[in-house]
Amino acid sequence: MEKIQNFIASVTGQEKVGFFDSATPSFYVAAAAIAFNPIFWNIVARQEYRTHFLTKIFRSPYYGCYALALTIFGLGIFRDSLYKAALDEQPLYPPLHQPALGVLLFVAGNVLVLSSMWALGVTGTYLGDYFGILMDSKVEGFPFNVTGAPMYWGSTLSFLGTALYKGRVAGVLLTLEVFVMYYLALQYEDPFTAEIYAKKDARPATRSQTKKDRKEL
C-alpha cells in the first residue's frame, strides 16, 4: 500500500509517505553537522582559555569573542538549513504529523533561546567567560528560573517542533541527537565554567576595591 501511495505521490507531486528513509544521505549530513557544532565551539573556547589565540589574533578579548560568536551563529544557521533539507527529503509519517503542537514547541523553544540571549548579552551567550569576560553576578531571572540551560533546551524544543510540524520520524531522531549532544556538552562545560568563576572569586581584591570597601565601613 505504501509503495502505491508513494508512486501516486511521485506522479502527482505530493509528499511521499513512510516511516523513515535510511538511504537518504542528507540525514547523515545533518547528523554530522549537529554533532560538529558543540564539539567545535568547546574545542575553540578551551584553546582560547589556555592560549588566548583569538584574543591575540583580534588584539582584544571582546573582538575575539565577537568573531567566535559570528562563527557559531553562522554554523548554527547552516546546521538548521541542513536539518530542514534532510526533513524535506524524508517521507511523511501521518501519526507524527502534529502541526499545532509543532508550532507551540517551536515558539516555546525560541522564547527560551531569545530571552536567554537578551539576558546574557553577546559575550555571555557566546562563551565570553573563556575570554576572561566575566559577568558580575549569576543571572537568575527568566528564563534561567525555568531551566539552567535555556539556550540548549530551547533549541532542542525548536528541533522537535519542526519535526512534528513536518511529521518526520527523521526529525525526531535528529532531535534526540541534539538532546544527547547538548547534554554531553553541559557535562563538559558546566564544571569548567564553575571553575572559572571560582578562580575569579578567589582573587584578592584590587587596591581600588579595598579602598572602596574601607569607605563603606
Torsion of CA 51, 186, 123, 56, to 10 degrees: 10
205 is in an annotated binding site: no
109 is in an annotated binding site: yes
201 is in an annotated binding site: no
Helix segments in the chain, DSSP class H:
2-12, 25-51, 53-58, 61-88, 99-125, 150-166, 169-202, 207-216
171 is in an annotated binding site: no
189 is in an annotated binding site: yes
Crossing angle of helices 169-202 and 61-88, rounded to 10°: 170
Residue 191: CB atoms within 10 Å: 10
Q: Quote the CA–CA distance of 208 and 216 in Å, as a whole number.
A: 13
Helix (H, G, I), strand (E, B) or coil at 143: coil
- Residue list, annotated binding site: 107-109, 189-190
- Residue list, annotated binding site for S-adenosyl-L-methionine: 107-109, 189-190
